[in-house]
Amino acid sequence: MGVRFLVIGTMSLCLVPAADCAQAQEASGASEVLPAIEVVAPRTAAAKPARNRNAPRVARNVRRVFVYPTAPTPTAGSGMDVDKVAAGINAVGAAQIARTGSLNIADVLQQQVPGIIISDATGNPFMPDIQFRGFVASPVAGTPQGLAVYQNGVRVNEAFGDTVNWDLIPTAAIRSVTVVTNNPAFGLNALGGAVNVQMKDGFNYKGAEINTMGGSFGRIQSSAQYGKQVDNFAVYAALEGLRENGFRNFSESAIRRFYGDVGYRSDSSEFHLNVGAARNNFGASATVPVELLQNYWGATYTTPQTTANSVAYVNLTGKVEATPTWTIEGSARVRAFQQKAVDGNPTATQQCAADQTLLCFNDDDVPANGLNGVQLANPFPDNAVLGQIDRTTTRSVTTGATLQATNTDQLFGHNNQFMVGASFDSGVSRFGASAELGTIAPNYVVNGSGIYLGPSGEPISIGPVSLRATNRYSGLYAQNTFDVTEAFSITGGGRFNHARIELEDQLGTALNGEHTFTRFNPMIGGTYKINPGLTAYAGYSEANRAPTPLELACADPARPCIIAAFLVADPPLKQVVSRTIEAGFRGTKELNIGTLGWKIGGFRATNADDILAIPSPELQGFGYFQNVGRTRRQGIEAQVNLTSKTLQLYASYALVDARFLDALQVGSHSPFADENGNVQILPGNRIPAIPRNRIKAGIDYSITDAFKVGGDALFVGSQYFVGDESNQAQRLPGYAVFNLHTSYQINKSIQIYARADNIFDNRYATYGTFFDTTDVPNFANGGAPFADARSVSPARPRSFYAGMKATF
């Protein structure tokens, strides 16, 4: 695979907040990305909404200020004037999401945020890893999570493994998404930042829309949304559905999502009750050996690999202006999540050497026991290739509440904004796992036998699991922004996090444990408005991540477990602490052809006691979690946008340099591993699966008021394979992809549109790792052994889609 290139039609987003930029967005018909509040003149007045919303604009002498979230508050319009944010600004809105034609939130984030890319460890496009500055929010259990994700102020990192199931977020109902950095107020997991998703309601969305699209690989998708305001009340509802066969074997997808909101607003208060539900099913075909891809791009390795996600949640939020300068906000929520996963794998079960009528595990003289503890008889033919079907079930119920107060009284005659808040979240998870033995057919499908493995191995590393885990996360945070002058503002604050995790083994006592993690994370920063079109910023912050119940129950190299399945007793892990500095410039300038917006910044994040998932050198598919010392992610981000009524252009570049800072030996299936199956990490080795270079560009042009065309491109540099922490193997090649799109507005209500993805049909992979070549024969090569240990997730080939949207 050589260097290749990705294009998705999007609308340019002026990320630099300023009144001029906002006007340009409105002139081009874009929806507001950031919520606006109205501030009474003079210009230096505190950012406080006008109390009388019905007063005529000419009589009120107000200006509009666009606000950026400074904490996971549930209501839009809460936050800070974006000109005073001491960090990079990353935001996308509903118009940008709609232009992708996708029900996948990851697509628009990859297009519009310079530091974000998507990798595909699961093999399903609706279960992506979103990587920002080398930190990941992933649905894959066992992936060390480095981003906090909030929906309407509610943390949606799941309780058991901090995983993020992006497929559960209803895309049509999203009003805006911001990627917040340099801010510990977003709590645990915000090592690299936080993704803050704000949903629509009947106050900011009015009307109805039905959108249906179909195309390649049997995709058919449809969404409907409706919003209406009646006096002080408003309602909103969105419904989405999708079915697709996928381009790979066994990679079907089915998505069903609902979101609804009922709101009440007065001059001094606002309350919302929102509910949501989703039930999704995926064929997650995961990585496949490169030798199989040479024969067929849709090939799969061991299957079945299916995931069924379901969620239901209720959130109650409120905001009250207690006085002209004090605002109180709060939320209460409950969320129920369930995941069932079926995963066909090779097995360490084999015929015993001394008696081939019996089965052994991982060694030919170690018994493989059944659920009753008795060694299993061998019912399989001598020429059978054995495998196992691993099944896991996770059920979590989380509840929580947040309370926050904001004050805008002047301090020493200067504008000042003070915020203090507290949050509490409690999660109870029940996790179960089982392993059914079977045989692997020539199409790599594992056929179950009805025989289940009990506790087996020396030491025991597999067997049924039943675990109850309780998480209690609490936080107290405060932040203050003080205007030293009209141009110079300083922000300082911090958050105290307390995490308590209890593990209760339901089958014995081996997994029992109690773990407590506490830390105070400070932040400080400042902005200086050099002139009306140019702002400089700099900041420092700290964040921490407590090990998850999954990681705490699988941390012993001597007793590895199937990641996300078979947990064992373990030594304790340390919490991860990240220290980040960033600085940069952003600005806008009015040109004859439109509004030019730009930004450039640099960052450095150093993690102490970083946690990685380490594969076992002894057992394929097994592994453990380990603190690996210090790691560092640093780089630069630059973006430029040109926005006018008929033309939108954007281009961005991000460099992410991610490296280990300490020497360490870890297990690996790399062909360069030593005789014990280990590789040696040296200080300065690059962290696998994090490409250094990302380049993005896009254009949208209105040929007429009704006819629009556009396209965009994505280039991602090469990366090391997961498992090549020693940086000795050949890298996974970089890639570049181009997409095109067009739309035609037939009348005021009806629009037709089409898009073509990967128009040059480039064959590339976004994720790569190694596998044990001796586990399963290469049936595509007559049953000969595999010769190449590389295994990758192939990207989608060229595809075409068309649809129609009706608005009322």
pLDDT tens per residue across span 650-670: 999 999 999 999 999 888 888
Give CA 37 to chain center in angstroms: 29
Tell me the two tokens of residue 149. Answer: 């994700």
pLDDT tens-digit map of 331-345: 999 999 999 999 998
pLDDT score at 413 = 93
pLDDT tens-digit map of 359-405: 999 888 999 999 999 999 999 998 999 999 999 999 999 999 999 99
Mean pLDDT value of segment 605-614: 88
* Cα gap 174→170, rounded to integer Å: 7
pLDDT tens-digit map of 690-726: 999 999 999 999 999 999 999 999 999 999 999 899 9
pLDDT score at 463 = 84
Mean pLDDT value of segment 781-787: 92
pLDDT score at 555 = 65
Q: Give all strands (DSSP E) within 644-749, no chain letters.
A: 647-660, 664-667, 678-681, 693-702, 707-716, 735-745
pLDDT of residue 78 exceeding 90: no
Prediction pTM value = 0.89
pLDDT tens-digit map of 493-521: 999 999 999 989 898 887 888 889 999 99
* Cα gap 144→124, rounded to integer Å: 19
Neighbours of 377 (CB within 10 A): 12
Mean pLDDT value of segment 349-362: 93
pLDDT above 90: percentage of residues in the chain? 70
Pick the more confident residue, 121 or 235. 235
* Cα gap 284→618, rounded to integer Å: 26
Mean pLDDT value of segment 771-781: 90
* Cα gap 561→243, rounded to integer Å: 34
CA-CA-CA-CA dihedral for 724, 725, 726, 732, to nearest 10: 40
pLDDT above 70: percentage of residues in the chain? 88
pLDDT score at 72 = 84
pLDDT of residue 15 exceeding 80: no
pLDDT score at 572 = 66
Mean pLDDT value of segment 18-34: 38
pLDDT tens-digit map of 598-608: 999 999 999 99
Tell me the two tokens of residue 353. Answer: 């050497």
pLDDT of residue 808 exceeding 60: yes
pLDDT score at 605 = 96
Tell me the two tokens of residue 655. Answer: 């460099």
* Cα gap 477→392, rounded to integer Å: 37
Q: Is 782 left (phi over 0), alpha (psi -120 to 50) or beta?
A: left
Neighbours of 216 (CB within 10 A): 16
pLDDT grade for 424, boundaries at 50, 70 and 90: very high
SS3 43: coil
| Element spanning 392, H or E | strand 386-407
* Cα gap 534→527, rounded to integer Å: 11
- The sheet with strand 62-68 has its strands ordered as 36-40, 62-68, 80-81
Contact 331, 315 (CB under 8 A): yes
Phi, psi of 83, rounded to the nearest 5 degrees = -65, -15
Residues 6 or more apart in contact with residue 559 via CB below 8 angstroms: 459, 460, 461, 568, 569, 570, 624
* Cα gap 386→374, rounded to integer Å: 20
pLDDT tens-digit map of 515-543: 899 999 999 999 999 999 999 999 999 99
* Cα gap 605→578, rounded to integer Å: 6
pLDDT score at 101 = 86
At residue 608, what is the residue type? A
pLDDT tens-digit map of 640-651: 999 999 999 999
The DSSP call for residue 378 is -
| Element spanning 147, H or E | strand 147-151
